[in-house]
Structure formats: structure tokens, C-alpha cells
Amino acid sequence: MATVLSVRDLRKHYPKVKAVDGVSFELEEGRCLGLLGPNGAGKSTTIEMLEGLVEPSSGEILYRGRPLDARYRQRVGMQFQATALQDFLTVRENLELFHALYERTLPLEQLISACHLEDFLDRDHRKLSGGQRQRLLLAIALVNDPDLVFLDEPTTGLDPQARRNFWELVQAVKARGTTVVLTTHYMEEAYLLSDDIAIMDHGQVIARGTPQSLLAEHFNDSVLELPAVEIEGRQIDLPLVRKDDRVEILSADVNGALRKLLDAGLSLAQLKIRPRTLEDLFIQLTGKELRA
Ligand SMILES: Nc1ncnc2c1ncn2[C@@H]1O[C@H](COP(=O)(O)OP(=O)(O)OP(=O)(O)O)[C@@H](O)[C@H]1O
């Protein structure tokens, strides 16, 4: 597999904050890298430097072995914020505007059908729903048939159905072999779409790997969950974590934990057992809850 992006010791220091402070990674062709991290971790600044929009303080970014240049700008796709859309123009006119900026493009009708824009082509973009707007912004990101596409929190603010629909579109983009860099606050989204995950905090990458390898590396236990009322007032020789009206028990020996709960006379009718998730890993590594 060819390396699409090589990032070495990338930094962006502002007078009062080290927004990005020594990020290095390689991204292989056709893979999706999910950048995760709490607010202010440096994800957007990293993406903006990779997009060529923000000048790094130091470090190196190579695209297919060469520094970022005019050719790079023709070959990458960026999902802009809605502010990049032109007011008073329809969806089709906005698409045409971006279409005209590139030498190599996908036929507009193909983009319209891939991103399901048919029903509101003649509407002013300010009259679109959140999901429709994100689909338009994705279509614009794909207008130049990019080799590498950046999606910065593409589903923030969407309802669960619109988010799932958007994931299908991203999976279709991946199926074409396009390399993707994604930032997200949704762990389910990261798990589903990313081949590789980089968790950032304080401007640095603090964990990197496939979702499965990260979980295997950091956890050997499962989570047993019971309603708190089941446990109240009982002595149980297990590490318990109170979460609102539930209690979580972390155990690498599920059989042993179940025996102890039964010996203590608990009803296990409402017991849930789940494997560890990316959300658990995120909280363990950053000490922060996810943004709602
Ligand atoms: N132009 C700027 N001038 C000064 N500080 C900045 C600038 N841009 C970003 N920062 C700071 O750099 C840090 C990283 O910001 P960044 O937006 O990259 O984080 P993020 O991980 O994308 O956060 P969020 O999840 O909230 O979008 C923050 O402390 C932010 O306030």
C-alpha cells in the first residue's frame, strides 16, 4: 500500500497555547484515520494544517512523498463549514461554483445522485435541514474526485437517522478507495468508519492503532452492569463503580465475578455484560467524558 500522508513532528504554537505539539503519523492509501480527542485537543488545527489552510510552526507534511503544493490542492477534498456556501445561490449553483474551481472533476449528476441531493437542487442552501446541508458539503468535498478527503466533525448536530445515512455515504466514498481523515466526537462513528484511530490530547497523539488493537492493548476486562438498587447495602468483594442509577463492575474473570454476585444473593435478572468500547478507552486515556 502506498503512503498518502507522512506527518513528522508537526507543531502549531500560538502565543498562549501549543495547539499541536509534535504529531507524527503515516496514512496508507484507502484507509480512514479517525482523529478523536476532547475539546481543544488540537484535532481541527491538525486537520487545517493537513489541508494546507494553516501554516505549521514546524514539522513536515508529505503527500505521496512530496511537500504540499498546487497539485495537492487539486487532489484533496475538504468538507467546509456551511459558512463557505454562497447565500442566495441554490444547491445546484453552489455545486457549480465549486465544480468550476478544479481541473479534474466528477460529473455533477453523479455527485447529485451519490449524495442524494435530487430533491432540493433548486433550494437556497439556507433552507436545508442539517442532514441535507451535510450531504451538500460532502458533495462539494468530492467535486474534484479527490484522492484524500478531510471530514471535520461531519455529523455534529445531525439526528441519529441523518447520521446513519451520512455514514452510508462515507462508506461508499471509502469503497471507491478514497483515503479519509475524519474528526468526530462520536465514538460509534469512529468505530464504524475508521480503520485507524488516533486519540489526541493537549496537542499530542496519545494512542494510535486500529479500533480493535487499541481495545485489546488497553483492556483485558469486561463490564458487568446492574441497577444500583440491587447492590445497595450489600458487601461484595468486587471493584464497583457507581454511574447514576447503575453500578459497573470491571472484571477480567466474568465467571468468577458472576459467582461472587450469586453468592451475595443478588438477582441477576437485569444484569448486562458488555465488552469495553472506544468510549471507555477515550475516558480512561483523556480523563474526560465525551461531549454530548
Ligand atoms: N487561531 C488560534 N489562535 C489561538 N489559539 C488557537 C487558534 N486556533 C486554535 N487555538 C487553540 O488551540 C487549541 C486546539 O484547538 P483545536 O480547535 O485544534 O481543538 P479541537 O481538538 O479541534 O477542539 P474541538 O473538539 O473543540 O473542535 C485550543 O486551545 C484552541 O483554543
Residue at 89 is within a domain: yes
pLDDT at 161: 87
Q: Are residues 225 and 198 in the same domain?
A: no
Q: Is the CB of 14 under 6 A from ligand 1?
A: yes
**Does residue 63 carry a pLDDT above 60?**
yes
pTM of this prediction?
0.87
Ligand 1 pocket test: pick from 13, 14, 189 the residue with the most ligand atoms within 8 Å of its Cβ. Answer: 14
Compute the distance from residue 18 Cα to the ligand 1 centre, in Å: 9
Q: Is the CB of 43 under 6 A from ligand 1?
A: yes
pLDDT at 292: 43
Q: Which three cell numbers stand for residue 192?
A: 464504524
Q: Are residues 189 and 228 in the same domain?
A: no
Q: Are residues 49 and 72 in the same domain?
A: yes
Residue at 19 is within a domain: yes
Q: Are residues 133 and 236 in the same domain?
A: no
182/164 Cα distance (integer angstroms): 15
The total of structural domains in the chain comes to: 2
CATH of residue 268's domain is 3.30.70.980
Burial class (CB in 10 A: 0-12, 13-18, 19+), 123: middle
Q: Is the CB of 17 under 6 A from ligand 1?
A: yes
Q: Are residues 238 and 134 in the same domain?
A: no
Q: Are residues 238 and 95 in the same domain?
A: no
Q: Which atom of ligand 1 is least distant from the CA of 47? A: 18
Q: Are residues 123 and 66 in the same domain?
A: yes
Structural domain containing residue 185 = 3-216
Residue at 60 is within a domain: yes
Q: Phi/psi of residue 10, each to 5°?
A: -75, 135
173/9 Cα distance (integer angstroms): 29
Q: Is the CB of 42 under 6 A from ligand 1?
A: yes
Q: Are residues 135 and 190 in the same domain?
A: yes
pLDDT at 291: 55
More confident residue, 288 or 24: 24
ipTM of model: 0.97
pLDDT at 138: 92
- Single residue among 216, 243, 259 that ends a domain in this structure: 216
Q: In what order do the strands lie in the sheet with 204-209?
A: 76-78, 148-152, 179-183, 32-36, 196-201, 204-209
Contact 2, 163 (CB under 8 A): no
CATH of residue 198's domain is 3.40.50.300
pLDDT digits (tens, 9 = 90+) for 209-261: 999 999 999 999 999 999 999 888 888 889 888 888 999 999 999 999 999 99
Q: Whose CA is nearest to atom 8 of ligand 1?
A: 45
Strands (DSSP E) along the chain, which ranges? 3-13, 18-28, 32-36, 58-63, 66-67, 76-78, 148-152, 179-183, 196-201, 204-209, 222-227, 240-243, 246-251, 272-275
More confident residue, 289 or 148: 148
